[in-house]
Amino acid sequence: MPALLTRSLPRRHATTLPTRLGVRIHDETRITLRLPTDLHAWLTAQAKNNRLSLNSEILHRNESEYRTTLADTDSP
């Protein structure tokens, strides 16, 4: 189980957030995301297989693609 960190937020919004890939989460933006039903079902199944929350699964996939894209643009 990942280590947890508590963010300093107003008391009514205080929350405990996990570190992500060993990196503490300093900034975050909340969004509402609309997904096709079949994509949502597939992502939910993938998250369950990987023992992740749906949010963590989506973050992992997006961060992997983001890093790949950065690496591709850095290559000559």
Tell me: the pLDDT tens digits for 8-36? 444 444 444 555 565 555 677 889 999 99
- The pLDDT-based confidence of 76 (bands split at 50, 70, 90) is low
Predicted TM-score of the model (pTM): 0.59
Q: What does the alpha-carbon distance between residue 9 and residue 12 come to, in Å, rounded to a whole number?
A: 8
- Closest Cα to residue 17, out of 63, 53, 44? 53
The strand pairing partners of 20, in sequence order, are 23
- Residue 26 is predicted with a pLDDT of 61
Is residue 3 within 8 Å of residue 19, measured between CB atoms? yes
Partners of residue 5 on adjacent β-strands? 17
